[in-house]
């Protein structure tokens, strides 16, 4: 059972903001309340300074939480993330969190396999750090600049493999090519994978299908556009299948963002 955490609306303070390659940033916030409760796979909803007061908050996965410090890793894709990349150290940032269910702990006797697409690596790095035991991380992106945080995993005893669509780093192709290889190797060694994935929807669907074929469990963190972030507006629903076969509309922000792949009705 995943523990519930109490969400709070905290007035955090920017400790630092640093570019980590083309269009990607890491933001460190002083956020003692949220950092103290954060678990891998949960996210925060940020009121971005510099946007008008009526602007929606933006959701970002928790990349790390240690002591009083909360970290996120983000890509500039539009107005909100662009404004966030311009915050300065010392600025106050209202942050709601930690939100969502998060990933479960890897089951005993399985090999955790993380599959990341682009900034989807953020919650998986946090998972690896909290899991302690080693595992395998597969990171994919369009090009070498989209391969982020790979260096986080090796010091923790994890094996890292990389794939880029243009072949500029690692294997040429999609990250699912690496997953197919990895699942095959584990099968030959008589080991069972448990998959944890975060990335674009197409990647998540493919990962879910491969896990099903292999008979492995896969936990997918869905990237759905959000409004309230706390389950009140039904702006982020996803059809989910219960064990008895009936279906319901789950709120990705409140009931997710992590769902077991076999329950998702794509």
Ligand X SMILES: Cc1cc2nc3c(=O)[nH]c(=O)nc-3n(C[C@H](O)[C@H](O)[C@H](O)COP(=O)(O)OP(=O)(O)OC[C@H]3O[C@@H](n4cnc5c(N)ncnc54)[C@H](O)[C@@H]3O)c2cc1C
In the complex, which residues of this chain contact ligand X (CB under 6 A)?
43, 58-61, 72-75, 77-81, 119, 122, 223-226, 257
Number of H helices, E strands in the chain: 5, 16
Return phi, psi of residue 139, to 5°: -120, 130
Q: What is the DSSP letter of 79?
A: H
Closest C-alpha among 186, 188, 256 to residue 220: 256
Residue among 112 and 229 whose Cβ is closer to ligand FES: 229
Element at 174 (helix H, strand E): none
Closest CA to 112 of 191, 209, 13: 191
SS3 category, 263:
helix
The site that binds ligand FES (CB under 6 A) totals a number of residues, namely 12
Residue number with CB closer to ligand FES (75 or 251): 251
Which range binds ligand FES by CB under 6 A, 18-26, 180-188, 200-208, 229-237?
229-237
Q: What is the spatial distance between Cα 202 and Cα 163, in angstroms, rounded to a whole number?
A: 16
234 binds, among ligand FES, ligand X, none (CB under 5 to 8 A by kind): ligand FES
- Residues 6+ positions from 159 with CB-CB distance below 8 Å: 134, 135, 136, 137, 153
Q: Measured from the CB of residue 21, what is the shortest distance to ligand FES in angstroms?
A: 30
Minimal CA–CA distance to 179: which of 143, 147, 141, 139?
A: 139
Our finding on whether 89 is near ligand FES (CB under 6 A) is no
What DSSP string describes 52-70?
A: -TTSPPEEEE--EEETTEE
- Which segment (29-37, 76-84, 176-184, 233-241) binds ligand FES by CB under 6 A? 233-241
Q: How far is the CB of 101 from ligand FES (least distance, A)?
A: 13
Residues with Cβ < 8 Å from 155, sequence gap 6 or more?
Answer: none
Does the protein bind ligand FES through residue 227 (CB under 6 A)? yes
Select from ligand X, ligand FES, none the partner in contact with residue 231, using the beta carbon and a kind-dependent cut-off of 5 to 8 Å: ligand FES
Q: Which does 225 bind (CB under 5 to 8 A by kind): ligand X, ligand FES, none?
A: ligand X
112 binds, among ligand FES, ligand X, none (CB under 5 to 8 A by kind): none
253 binds ligand FES, rule: CB under 6 A: yes
Binding of residue 234 to ligand FES (CB under 6 A): yes
**Binder of ligand FES out of 165, 228, 241, 263 (CB under 6 A):** 228
Residues within the interface to ligand FES (CB under 6 A): 226-229, 231-236, 251, 253
């Amino acid at each position: 059972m995943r523990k519930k955490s109490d969400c709070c609306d905290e007035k955090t303070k920017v400790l630092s903001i640093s570019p980590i390659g083309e269009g990607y940033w890491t933001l460190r916030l002083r956020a003692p309340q949220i950092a103290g409760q954060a678990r891998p796979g949960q996210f925060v909803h940020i009121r971005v300074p510099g946007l008008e007061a009526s602007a929606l908050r933006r959701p970002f996965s928790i990349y790390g939480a240690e002591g009083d410090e909360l970290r996120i890793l983000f890509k500039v894709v539009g107005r909100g993330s662009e404004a966030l990349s311009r915050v300065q150290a010392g600025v106050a940032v209202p942050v709601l969190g930690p939100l969502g269910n998060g990933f479960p702990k890897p089951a005993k006797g399985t090999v955790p396999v993380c599959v990341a697409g682009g900034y989807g690596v953020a919650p998986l790095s946090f998972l690896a750090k909290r899991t302690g035991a080693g595992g395998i991380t597969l990171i994919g992106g369009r090009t070498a600049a989209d391969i982020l945080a790979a260096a986080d995993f090796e010091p923790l005893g994890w094996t890292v493999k990389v794939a880029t669509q243009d072949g500029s780093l690692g294997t040429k192709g999609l990250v699912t090519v690496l997953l197919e290889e990895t699942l095959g190797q584990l099968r030959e060694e008589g080991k069972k994978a448990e998959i944890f994935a975060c990335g674009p929807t197409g990647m998540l669907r493919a990962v879910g299908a491969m896990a099903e074929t292999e008979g492995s469990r896969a936990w997918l963190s869905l990237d759905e556009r959000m409004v309230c972030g706390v389950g009140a507006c039904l702006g982020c629903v996803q059809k989910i299948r219960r064990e008895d076969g009936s279906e319901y509309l789950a709120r990705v922000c409140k009931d997710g963002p992590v769902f077991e792949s076999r329950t998702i009705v794509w």
